[in-house]
Amino acid sequence: MSFWEKQRVLVTGGSGFLGSHLMRLLQAQNCGALIAPRSSEYDLVKGGEAERLIADTRPTLLFHLAAICGGIGVNRAHPSRFFYGNAMMGIQLIEEARKAGVEKAVIVGTICAYPKFTPVPFKEEDLWSGYPEETNAPYGLAKKMLLVQAQACRQEFGSNFIYLLPVNLYGPGDNFNLETSHVIPALIRKMEDARLSGAKDVVLWGTGGASREFLFVEDCARGMLRAAEKYHGAEPINLGAGFEITIRELAEKIKKLTGFTGDIIWDETRPDGQPRRMLDVSRAEREFGFCASTTLDEGLLKTIASYRSEHAK
């Protein structure tokens, strides 16, 4: 039997953006069982729900993707909800997985866990060298505590729990709600809506000078599968594409790809967020042979097509 045929796989957040892409890949692996309940079935923030989930599903392999997340605006508006919800979901689930003897857990963290002024490219060993960027620190710190917990379970009980740090994700099926979306879907929606309405300009947050790295969601899901199968270490692993682009350059690129011909106006009273983000991705390549394969232009065109398809319905 293959690695996957022997597994009872439980995915939290399986109906979400990353989760839906991971589920498609897992379905092709012929897993012994594949379970992805919705939050309406098990509210993992509530006490006792994680225990009930693990008892009901009896997984051998757990992917913990479920999260409360969003862009700068919603992080600033709901810091307590972002901290409490993400911490309680993860802490309770990891503890119940440990108690039940789940053979392996893949825990998904966030690049927001890195310190605000981490030297570029971000190396995994820099994770504890400072405080995260303030606008999303509650979210980043809540997710970072799951790394501490996973390593503690490994140290005390020998649990094979691994921790992955994906960079900013984008792709088909992303969240295009301007109140809660991340930068790429927000830019696509603003440019596309402006193009369709004939607007003369779009207003974007910040100066455009901050930089980001973006990983196509299907590449991330593929990396997670490889990590589940091949990686068994205690140290966190970055998942990224290994490039950096400023938000201003990204906006101009999306403007061109969507065909919007108006002006871009930068509202410099709004925050830029973390000044720079780009990961050192050498550990993922070394440990389990992961390299991103989708170029930014290819990924953006697929994402734009996805938005246009949904918008036309």
- Predicted confidence at residue 312, as pLDDT, reads 63
Would you say the pTM of this structure is higher than 0.75? yes
**Contact predicate 14/20, CB 8 Å:** yes
Distances 135 to 47, 244, 261, 298 between C-alpha atoms, Å: 28, 21, 32, 30
Q: Which of 85, 93, 91, 96 is nearest to 45 (CA)?
A: 85
DSSP β-bridge partners for residue 211: 246
User: What is the sign, positive or negative, of the torsion defined by CA atoms of 261, 263, 268, 269?
Assistant: negative
Per-position pLDDT tens, the chain of length 313: 689 999 999 999 999 999 999 999 999 999 999 999 999 999 999 999 999 999 999 999 999 999 998 877 888 899 999 999 999 999 999 999 999 999 999 999 999 999 999 999 999 999 999 999 998 999 999 999 999 999 999 999 999 999 999 999 999 999 998 888 889 999 999 999 999 999 999 999 999 999 999 999 999 999 999 999 999 999 999 999 999 999 999 999 999 999 999 999 999 999 888 888 899 999 999 999 999 999 999 999 999 999 999 876 5
DSSP letters along 41-52, please?
A: T--TTSTTHHHH
DSSP β-bridge partners for residue 276: none
Three-class SS of residue 244? Answer: coil
Q: What is the CA radius of gyration of the chain?
A: 19
What is the Cα–Cα distance from 63 to 19, expressed in whole angstroms?
9
Three-class SS of residue 174? Answer: coil
- Predicted confidence at residue 1, as pLDDT, reads 66
Exposure on the CB side of residue 28, measured as CA atoms within 13 A: 8
The answer to whether 139 is a known catalytic residue is yes
Cα distance between the two ends of the chain: 43
Which residue do the tokens 């400072």 mark? 130
DSSP β-bridge partners for residue 159: none
What is the Cα–Cα distance from 25 to 29, expressed in whole angstroms?
7
- Predicted confidence at residue 178, as pLDDT, reads 86
Which residues fall within 8 angstroms of residue 249, CB to CB, at 6 or more apart? Answer: none
- Predicted confidence at residue 313, as pLDDT, reads 56
The CATH code of the domain at 4-173+212-244+275-294 is: 3.40.50.720
Count of Cβ atoms closer than 10 Å to residue 9 Cβ: 25
- Predicted confidence at residue 302, as pLDDT, reads 97
- Parse the chain into domains and list their residue ranges: 4-173+212-244+275-294
Buried (b) or exposed (e) across 77-96, using 16+ Cβ within 10 A?
ebbeebbebbbbbbbbbbeb
Catalytic residue among 42, 84, 114, 139: 139
